[in-house]
Amino acid sequence: MATSYKPPLDAIRFALFDVIGAEPVYARLGFANATRDVMDAVLDEAARFTETVLVPISDVGDQIGCSLDKSTGEVTTPPGFRAAHDTFVDGGWSGLTAPEALGGQDMPESLGAAVKEMLDAANLGWANYTLLSHGAIEALKHHGEDWQKTAFLAPIIEGKWMGTMCLTEPQAGTDLGLLRTRAEPSASGDGSYAISGTKIFITGGEHDLTPNIVHLVLARLPDAPAGTKGISLFIVPKFKVGKDGVMGERNGLRCASIEHKMGIHGSSTCVMNFEGAQGWLIGQPNKGLNAMFTMMNTARLAVGLQGLGLMDRATQNAERYANERLQGRSLSGAKFPDKPADPIIVHGPVRQLLSTCRTLTAGSRMLVLHAALQVDIIERSKDDAERANAESLLGFLTPIVKACLTEWSVEVTYDALQVFGGAGYIRETGMEQLARDARITTIYEGTTQVQAMDLLGRKILQLQGVGMRQFLGLVQKFCEEQAVNVDMHGYVLPLAEATKRWGELTMDIARRAAGNPDVVGECAVDFLFYSGYVALAYWHARAAATATAAGAKADNPHLRDAADYFARILPRTATLAVLLKPDRATV
Amino acid sequence: MATSYKPPLDAIRFALFDVIGAEPVYARLGFANATRDVMDAVLDEAARFTETVLVPISDVGDQIGCSLDKSTGEVTTPPGFRAAHDTFVDGGWSGLTAPEALGGQDMPESLGAAVKEMLDAANLGWANYTLLSHGAIEALKHHGEDWQKTAFLAPIIEGKWMGTMCLTEPQAGTDLGLLRTRAEPSASGDGSYAISGTKIFITGGEHDLTPNIVHLVLARLPDAPAGTKGISLFIVPKFKVGKDGVMGERNGLRCASIEHKMGIHGSSTCVMNFEGAQGWLIGQPNKGLNAMFTMMNTARLAVGLQGLGLMDRATQNAERYANERLQGRSLSGAKFPDKPADPIIVHGPVRQLLSTCRTLTAGSRMLVLHAALQVDIIERSKDDAERANAESLLGFLTPIVKACLTEWSVEVTYDALQVFGGAGYIRETGMEQLARDARITTIYEGTTQVQAMDLLGRKILQLQGVGMRQFLGLVQKFCEEQAVNVDMHGYVLPLAEATKRWGELTMDIARRAAGNPDVVGECAVDFLFYSGYVALAYWHARAAATATAAGAKADNPHLRDAADYFARILPRTATLAVLLKPDRATV
Which domains, and CATH codes, for chain B? 9-158 (1.10.540.10), 162-288 (2.40.110.20), 293-579 (1.20.140.10)
8 A C-beta contact, residue A123 and residue A57: yes
Whether A421 has its CB under 8 Å from any CB of chain B: the answer is yes
Q: Inter-chain contact A575–B575, Cβ cutoff 8 Å?
A: yes
- Axis-axis angle for helices B518-549, B489-515 (nearest 10): 160
Question: Is there a contact between A575 and B579 if contact means CB atoms under 8 Å apart?
Answer: no
Q: How far is CA B341 from the centre of its chain?
A: 41
Q: Do B567 and A577 touch (CB under 8 A)?
A: no
**A140 and chain B in contact, CB less than 8 A:** no
Beta bridge partners of A69: A74
3-state secondary structure A211-224: CCEEEEEEEECCCC
Smallest Cβ–Cβ distance between B427 and the set A261, A350, A351 belongs to A261
Burial class of residue B198 (count of CB atoms within 10 Å of its CB; 0-12, 13-18, 19+): middle
Count other C-beta atoms under 10 Å from residue B459's C-beta. Answer: 24
Pairs across A and B, CB distance < 8 A: 222
Length reported for chain A: 587
**CA neighbours closer than 13 Å in the CB half-sphere of residue B474:** 21
A351–B521: do the CB atoms touch at under 8 Å?
yes
- Report whether A334 contacts A326 (CB < 8 A): no
**The pTM of the whole model exceeds 0.90:** yes
- Tell me the CB-side half-sphere exposure of residue A253, using CA atoms within 13 A: 32
B515, amino acid identity: G
- Amino acid A49 reads F
Cβ-contact A569, A356 below 8 angstroms: yes
Q: Say if the Cβ atoms of B571 and A575 lie within 8 Å.
A: yes
Distance CA B520, CA B527 (A): 9
pLDDT number for residue B583? 59
Considering only residues 7 to 66 of chain B, which have any Cβ-Cβ distance to chain A shorter than 8 Å? none
Residue ranges of B 564-583 with Cβ closer than 8 A to chain A? 564, 566-568, 571-575, 577-579
Q: What's the average model confidence in pLDDT over A251-255?
A: 98
A357 class by beta-carbon count within 10 Å (0-12 exposed, 13-18 middle, 19+ buried): buried
Asked if B243 contacts B151 with a C-beta cutoff of 8 angstroms, the reply is: yes
Taking only Cα atoms into account, the Rg of chain A, rounded to an integer number of angstroms, comes to 24
Record: contact A422-B352, CB cut-off 8 A: no
CA distance A80 to chain B (A): 23
8 Å CB contact of B447 and A421:
yes
Partners of residue B437 in chain A, C-beta under 8 Å: none
Tell me which chain B residue has its CA closest to the CA of residue A354: B587
pLDDT for res B290: 85
| Model pLDDT, residue B298 | 85
Identity of residue A382: K
Contact between A261 and B566 using a beta-carbon 8 Å cutoff: no
Please report the pLDDT score of residue B582 as a whole number.
64
Chain A touched by B277 (CB under 8 Å): no
Under a CB-based contact definition with an 8 Å cutoff, are residues A186 and A193 in contact? Answer: yes
* Residue A269 pLDDT exceeds 90: yes
C-alpha separations of A171 from A176, A196, A198, A201, B503 in Å: 9, 15, 10, 12, 52
Partners of B279 in beta bridges: B193
Closest partner CB to B447 (pick from A418, A448, A574):
A418
- Who's near A250: CB < 8 A, 6+ residues apart? A238, A239, A240
Alpha carbon of B127 to those of B43, B47, B53, B167, B247: distances in Å?
16, 14, 12, 20, 26
**CA–CA distance, B229 with B578 (Å, rounded to integer):** 39
* CB-based contact B409:B310 (threshold 8 Å): yes
Which one of B414, B575, B584 makes the best mutation probe of the A interface by having the most chain A beta carbons within 10 Å?
B575
A571/B563 touch (CB, cutoff 8 Å), yes or no: no
Contact state of A331 with B520 under an 8 Å Cβ cutoff = yes
Q: Give B-chain residues touching A452 at CB under 8 angstroms.
A: 349
Sign of CA dihedral A21, A25, A26, A27: positive
> Is B436 within 8 Å of chain A by CB?
yes
Residues in chain B: 587
Residues 58-117 of A with CB under 8 A from B: none
Whether residue A10 contacts residue A19, with contact meaning beta carbons closer than 8 Å, is answered with no
B445 classed as catalytic: yes
Averaged over successive runs of 10 residues, the pLDDT of chain B (587 residues) comes to 92 98 98 97 98 97 97 97 98 95 95 98 97 89 94 96 96 95 95 98 98 98 95 98 94 98 98 98 93 84 98 98 97 96 98 98 98 97 97 97 98 98 97 98 97 97 94 97 94 96 96 94 98 98 97 94 97 97 57
Given an 8 Å threshold on Cβ–Cβ distance, is A422 in contact with B348?
Answer: no
Q: Measure CB to CB from residue A331 to each of B261, B517, B573 and give the nearest one.
A: B517
Instruction: Give the bridge partners for B214, in sequence order.
Output: B163, B237
Does the beta carbon of B554 lie under 8 angstroms from any beta carbon of chain A? no
- Which residues on chain A are in Cβ contact (under 8 Å) with B174? 327-328, 421
Residues A200 and A73: their CA atoms lie apart, in Å, by: 15
Q: Do B436 and A585 touch (CB under 8 A)?
A: no
Print the SS3 string covering B245-304. Answer: CCEEEECCEEEEEECCECCCCCCCEEEEEEEEEEEEEECCCCEHHHHHHHHHHHHHHHHH
Confidence label for A585 from pLDDT (cuts 50, 70 and 90):
very low
Span between the terminal Cα atoms of chain A, in Å: 46
Confidence class for position A586, pLDDT limits 50, 70, 90: very low
Q: Do the chains contact at A435 and B262, CB–CB below 8 Å?
A: yes
Distance CA A192, CA A279 (A): 6
Cα A137 to Cα A155: distance, rounded to the nearest angstrom: 10
A523 interaction partners in chain B (CB closer than 8 Å) = 348
A432 chain-B contacts, CB cut-off 8 A: 261-262, 439
**Catalytic residue chosen out of the listed positions B138, B445, B504, B522:** B445
Using CB atoms, which residue from A421, A447, A523 is nearest to B443? Answer: A421
Contacts of B165 (CB under 8 A, 6+ apart): B132, B135, B136, B202, B203, B216, B292, B295, B296, B299
pLDDT score recorded for residue A293:
80
Q: What is the spatial distance between Cα B444 and Cα A420, in angstroms, rounded to a whole number?
A: 12
Query: Integer distance in angstroms from the first to the last C-alpha of chain B?
Result: 46
Q: Exposed, middle or buried: residue B463 (CB in 10 Å: 0-12, 13-18, 19+)?
A: middle
Closest CA to A259 of B436, B305, B428, B303: B428
- Of the candidates A566, A579, A470, which has an alpha carbon nearest to the alpha carbon of residue A530? A579
Looking at residue A1, what is its pLDDT?
A: 61
Contact status, residue A125 vs residue A269, Cβ threshold 8 Å: no
ipTM over 0.90: yes
Please name the helix (run of DSSP H) or strand (run of DSSP E) that holds residue B310, with its range, or none. Answer: helix B288-324
* H/E stretch holding A10: helix A9-13
In chain B, the residue whose alpha carbon lies closest to the alpha carbon of A581 is: B567
Nearest residue of A to residue B434 by CA position?
A262
Task: Find all residues with CB under 8 Å of B541, minimum gap 6, and list them.
Answer: B478, B482, B488, B491, B492, B495, B562
Asked if B442 and A418 come within 8 Å (Cβ–Cβ), the reply is: yes
Selecting from B418, B442, B517 the residue whose C-beta is nearest the C-beta of A332 gives: B517
Q: Name the minimum distance, in Å, from the CA of B540 to any CA of chain A.
A: 15
CA distance A389 to chain B (A): 29
**What is the DSSP code (8-state) at residue B210?**
S
Å from B544 to nearest chain A CA? Answer: 15
Q: Where are the beta strands (DSSP E) in B99-175?
A: 162-166
pLDDT number for residue A582: 64
Q: What is the pLDDT of residue B586?
A: 46
Record: contact B525-A352, CB cut-off 8 A: yes
DSSP B371: H
Q: How far is A367 from chain B (nearest CA, A)?
A: 23
**Facing residue for B449 by CB, picked from A174, A349, A444:** A349
Mean per-residue pLDDT over chain A, rounded? 96
Q: Which of A509, A529, A500 is nearest to A584 (CA)?
A: A509
pLDDT tops 80 at residue A294: no
Q: 10 Å Cβ neighbour count for B182?
A: 17
Outline where A421-488 has alpha helix (H): 422-425, 431-438, 448-453, 466-482
Q: Residue A357: name the closest of B212, B587, B204 by CA.
A: B587
Closest residue in chain A to residue B354, using alpha carbons only: A587
Residue numbers of A annotated as active site: 445
CA distance A18 to A9: 13
Q: Strands A162-166 and A213-219, how do they pair?
A: parallel
Q: How far is B437 from chain A (nearest CA, A)?
A: 10
Q: Is B358 on the interface with A (CB under 8 A)?
A: no
Spatial contact of A150 and A165, defined as CB atoms under 8 Å apart:
no
Contact assignment for B520 to A340 by CB distance below 8 Å? no
- What are the φ and ψ backbone dihedral angles of B571, each rounded to 5 degrees? -60, -10
B interface test, pick of A262, A269, A461 with most B CB neighbours within 10 Å: A262
- Angstrom distances, CA of residue A517 to CA of A457, A511, A586, B349: 9, 11, 13, 13
Q: Which residues of B touch A421 (CB under 8 A)?
A: 173-174, 443, 447
- Contact flag A520-B563 (C-beta cutoff 8 Å): no
